[in-house]
Each structure stands twice: as C-alpha cells, then as structure tokens.
Amino acid sequence: MSTVIKTTGLTKSYGDYKAVDSLDLNVGLGQIYGFLGQNGAGKTTTIRMLLGLIKPTSGDIELFGDSLRGKQKELLKRIGSIVEFSGFYENLTARENLMINARLMGVHKASALSEALEIVGLHQETKKLVGNYSLGMKQRLGIARAILHHPELLILDEPTNGLDPVGIKEIRRLIRSLADERKMTILISSHILSEVEQLADQVGILHQGRLLEEISLAELMKRNRTYMEFQVSNENKAALLLEQQFGIADYEVRGDGSLRIYSHLGQQGNLNRVFVQEGLEVTKMAISGETLEDYFVRLIGGGTIG
Ligand code: ATP
C-alpha cells in the first residue's frame, strides 16, 4: 500500500517543552486514520505541521511520497482540511460562503459548489443564513469547503467536537462515504475513543507528544477481544473436542497448556463438562479480555482518554 502521510522523527519544541516528540506516522492510501489522544497530546500541533502552518523543530514530512520541503505549495493543493474553527459569514447562505472560498481557492467550476453541498447534505438549504445553522450544519459546511477542490487527502481536527449524538453520527456517515465513494484518504483526530473505533481502519495513539502505538483497528480488536481461557492437561485433545463437539473454529492453542476461545462465550459450563467427561483435567477456567477503553487507559498509564 502506498503511503500518503509519512513523518520521520517529527518534533516540535516550544522552549524546552516538546509538544510533539519524534513522531513516525504512516497513513496509507485510502485509509481512515484515527489520530487519538487526550487534550494537549499534540494532535493539533502535528496537524499544523502537516499542513505547513508551523515549522517542525526537526524531522521530516512526506506527503504523497514527496518531501514537504520545497514542494509545499504543490502538495498542499492536494489536501483539504479543517483545523481550528475558521468562521463563515453568518449573514450569507452556505452557497454564498462557498462561492467566496471557491474564488480564493481558485476553484472556478460552478458545479463544484453544488456537488460539495450535496455531498454534505446541505444542498436544500438554499435560503437559510449560516448564522441560523446548528453547529453540526456548520461543521458539514466546513467539510464542504474542505472538499471543494477534490482533495485526495482530508485532514480533520476534532470534527465532532461539541456536536450532539445526531450531529456526530452525521459527520461519521459523511466521513465514511468520502472514504468509500470518493476514495479519499482521511486523517481524523479525536480524543473520543468510541468515535475513532467506529470509523477508523488504522489508529495512531498519541500521548504527551509521543506516538505510543500505530495499529490497525482489526488487530486492535483482536488483541482486545474477550475470550474464555481454559488450562487443561492436554490442549491438543481439548482443541479437537472444541472442533468436533462444538464446531468451534475461533480459538487459539497457547502452547502452555491453555486455550483461548473467542466465540461461544457463556458456554464455558458446557465446555468444561465435556472436557472433564473426556478425561481432561481442567485447572483453570476464566473469562478474560478488556475493553478498548481499558486498553487505552493502560497504554497511556492511568489517565482517561475522554
Ligand atoms: P487539544 O485537543 O486540546 O487541542 P492537542 O492534542 O491538539 O489537544 P496541541 O494543541 O497540539 O494538543 O498541544 C500540545 C501541547 O503543546 C499543549 O501542552 C499546548 O499547550 C502546547 N502548545 C501548543 N502550541 C503552543 C505554542 N504556540 N506555544 C507553547 N506551547 C504550545
């Protein structure tokens, strides 16, 4: 898979304080990348460096395989973004606002406005002034502005901040459709784990300026799944019983006399009975695993993520 964002040792210091510390980020083509971290973790600082808004203290940024240095103007044209809330004219409609932005951005096709408004579901709001928009509508209008020029990469800094559950759901659906239907690569930062969990293909976890982990969501889920664990006298025989008597395929033989079974949770009594009936000694039986939330809290050393 080709890489759309690659940073190497990316660092931003303010005096002695490292807001972003030696970051190696990798965002693959077509991915929705969840950039996760508590308030103050350094997400916005990273994003501002990616967009050329502030200069890194050290390290490199490659976008679309090219170094940002020297090619900034050309590369940034291929990106759409929402970073910090930049306002709209409240006494104008969405279309009028976008028209101003389109001119500034050098987008001259009239159809680009209609298309962007339609994508974000604001095409029918022809009369309403932006001043009367809900926060969710304003956020969608922000996304419309960010995609006016058909960017290949969209960077959204906390796009659901302050939205109610309905607004959050709408933004989530929109992001998903931009990735699936428009084939955009999307980096979305958030301090809310559940948001990223429902959307991202890949997750980067930032804490105190450092990337603690970069992992696919599938791998993360696998790692954090709930399972039944049995300690038995003969694990291979137990595995055979699981398959033959229960039709269980989703299990793991650990090699230390234990098995982890990822399906049929709640049937541990039945499994135990059959194991014993078939002459196995069962020395341990437990339900283990942790929620993703538990996992992050452990990873960042005790704080909460939300
Ligand atoms: P939030 O969700 O609160 O915006 P964040 O993860 O985006 O959090 P940043 O805004 O990147 O975090 O800030 C990271 C750290 O760097 C914070 O401690 C912040 O106070 C500090 N910081 C950011 N910009 C500056 C600056 N211009 N001068 C000094 N310190 C700064």
Whether residue 141 is found in the same domain as residue 127:
yes
For residue 239, the Cα-to-chain-centroid distance in whole angstroms is 36
Q: In this structure, what CATH number is given to the domain that contains residue 187?
A: 3.40.50.300
42: left (phi over 0), alpha (psi -120 to 50) or beta: left
Whether residue 250 is found in the same domain as residue 192:
no
Please state the rounded mean pLDDT for residues 229-244: 96
- Give me Rg for the CA atoms of the chain: 24
Q: Which of 12, 16, 43 should be mutated for ligand 1, with most atoms under 8 A from CB?
A: 43
Q: Give the torsion sign (CA, 181, 183, 189, 194).
A: positive
The minimum-distance atom of ligand 1 relative to the CA of 14 is 29
Euclidean distance between CA atoms 140 and 190, whole angstroms: 17
Please state the rounded mean pLDDT for residues 24-33: 96
Whether residue 207 is found in the same domain as residue 105:
yes
DSSP strands (E only) in the chain = 3-14, 17-23, 26-28, 32-36, 58-63, 66-67, 79-82, 153-157, 185-190, 202-207, 210-216, 227-232, 251-253, 258-261, 282-288
Whether residue 209 is found in the same domain as residue 238:
no
Residue 63 banded pLDDT, cuts 50, 70, 90:
very high
The minimum-distance atom of ligand 1 relative to the CA of 47 is 11
Whether residue 203 is found in the same domain as residue 277:
no
Q: The domain containing residue 169 runs over which residues? A: 3-221
72-121 pLDDT, tens digit each:
999 999 999 998 766 899 999 999 999 998 988 888 787 889 999 999 99
Q: Is 152 exposed, middle or buried (0-12, 13-18, 19+ CB in 10 A)?
A: middle
For residue 24, the CA-to-ligand 1 centroid distance in Å is 18
Q: What is the pLDDT of residue 306?
A: 46
pLDDT at 305 over 50: no
Whether residue 243 is found in the same domain as residue 114:
no
pLDDT at 303 over 70: no
pLDDT at 55 over 60: yes
Count Cβ atoms below 10 Å from residue 278 Cβ, excluding itself: 13
The minimum-distance atom of ligand 1 relative to the CA of 41 is 6
- Percent of the chain at pLDDT > 70 equals 96
Mean pLDDT of the chain: 90
Total structural domains in the chain?
Answer: 2
Whether residue 253 is found in the same domain as residue 172:
no
Whether residue 108 is found in the same domain as residue 138:
yes
Evaluate whether residue 304 is within a structural domain: no
Q: Give the torsion sign (CA, 63, 85, 213, 12).
A: positive
Euclidean distance between CA atoms 248 and 242, whole angstroms: 5
Among 3-12, 32-41, 140-149, 283-292, the range with the most confident prediction by mean pLDDT is: 3-12
Q: Which of 45, 53, 155, 156 should be mutated for ligand 1, with most atoms under 8 A from CB?
A: 45
Cβ 36 under 6 angstroms from ligand 1: no
Please state the rounded mean pLDDT for residues 232-251: 95
Whether residue 121 is found in the same domain as residue 147:
yes
Number of alpha carbons in the 13 Å side-chain half-sphere of residue 235: 15
Query: Among 175, 198, 221, where does a domain finish?
Result: 221
The minimum-distance atom of ligand 1 relative to the CA of 46 is 11
Q: In this structure, what CATH number is given to the domain that contains residue 240?
A: 3.30.70.980
Spatial contact of 46 and 11, defined as CB atoms under 8 Å apart:
no
249-302 pLDDT, tens digit each:
989 999 899 999 988 877 888 999 999 999 999 999 998 876 667 777 777 775
The reported pTM is 0.80
Atom 18 of ligand 1, nearest CA residue: 40
Cβ 40 under 6 angstroms from ligand 1: yes
Evaluate whether residue 46 is within a structural domain: yes
Euclidean distance between CA atoms 78 and 7, whole angstroms: 17
Cβ 44 under 6 angstroms from ligand 1: yes
117-155 pLDDT, tens digit each:
999 999 898 889 999 998 889 999 999 999 999 999 999
Least confidently predicted of 4-8, 161-165, 200-204, 271-275: 161-165
For residue 260, the CA-to-ligand 1 centroid distance in Å is 42
